[in-house]
Structure 1
Amino acid sequence: MNVEVNSTYHLVKQEDLNHHGTLYAGRTAEWFVESGFIAAAKLTHPENIVCLKIHGMRFNKPVQRGEILCLESQIVYAGRTSLIAFVRAKNNNDSLLEGFITFVHVDLDGKPLPHHISIQPVTEEEKFLYQKAQALRNEK
């Protein structure tokens, strides 16, 4: 399966700011997980996807009110029941934030369920992200 990149956009408003006047990390985490979830849900049924872990959501610079964030997400690794998304937030091609999220494919009782999804990285960047996600998966 080719790796599809999904894009979502958010306008940073006053209610999204912290006490420093920059984008609140909690709001960012919400958007971050939502973007990764959309990438996973496009490959299977959304009701079967749950978030297991956020791996190192890292800000590269503060985000100001009025900026428009483009969150790009893609599934970069598929285990038997897990899917790992890479999410990057950009503004005018400046990388503001990036990280990985592990989702688990579950049945209606919340038990892990094989998803039968296969990811085949093609480009050098896809191969790099696949290897990085694979290493994260092996961390305990």
Structure 2
Amino acid sequence: MKMKPVIIHHLVKGADLNHHETLFAGRGAEWLVEAGFIAAASLTHPENIVCLNIHGMIFTRPVKKGSLLKFESKIVYAGKSSLVAYVRVVFSQTEEFVVEGYLTFIHVVSGKPVPHGIVIEPETPEETALYEKGKHLKETGHKNSKAS
């Protein structure tokens, strides 16, 4: 299966700000998980997807009220019951990079991990790099989990 990007946008409003008048990292994390979830859910049934791990997010600049953010997410690696999403966020108007992160989602039925049958096949050097990073994070990011 190809790595198909999913794109969503968010407007940063006053309620999304921290005490420095910039985007609250917690709200950014919420939107990052939402974008990754949508990418995972686009490959299977949304009711069967749960987030297991946010592998990290690194902001490169502050985001102010009124900014329009573009979240591009795609599933970059698939284990037996896991899906690793990569999310890249830029300012919609300028494409200036803001933040990125990887997330692992698990395919569950009745609360238990089950195989999803999805296979991700990278086609470009960039996709191969994302695939390898996703595989590494999945293998090292939740060693205590029974999910794979």
TM-score range, shorter chain: over 0.9
Deviations 1:48-94 (A, max 9, x none): 00000000111111111111000000000000000000001101211
Q: Which amino acid aligns with 1:117?
A: I
Task: Please state how far the C-alpha of 1:16 moved relative to its aligned partner.
Answer: 0.6
Deviations 1:2-28 (A, max 9, x none): 110010001111111000000001111
Of 104, 107, 111, the residue aligned with 2:106 is 104
Q: Which amino acid aligns with 2:73?
A: S
- The alignment covers a number of residue pairs equal to 139
Correspondences of 1:51-130 after superposition (within 5 Å): 51-91=51-91, 92-107=94-109, 109-130=110-131
Task: Please state how far the C-alpha of 1:95 moved relative to its aligned partner.
Answer: 1.0
How many Å separate the matches in 2 of 1:82 and 1:43? Answer: 12
With structure 2 as the length reference, what TM-score do the two structures score?
0.92
How many Å separate the matches in 2 of 1:58 and 1:95? Answer: 11
Q: Which runs of 4+ in 1 moved over 6 A?
A: none
Identical aligned pairs, as a percentage?
57
- Where does the alignment leave 5 or more consecutive residues of structure 1 unmatched? none
- Does 2:16 align with 1:16? yes
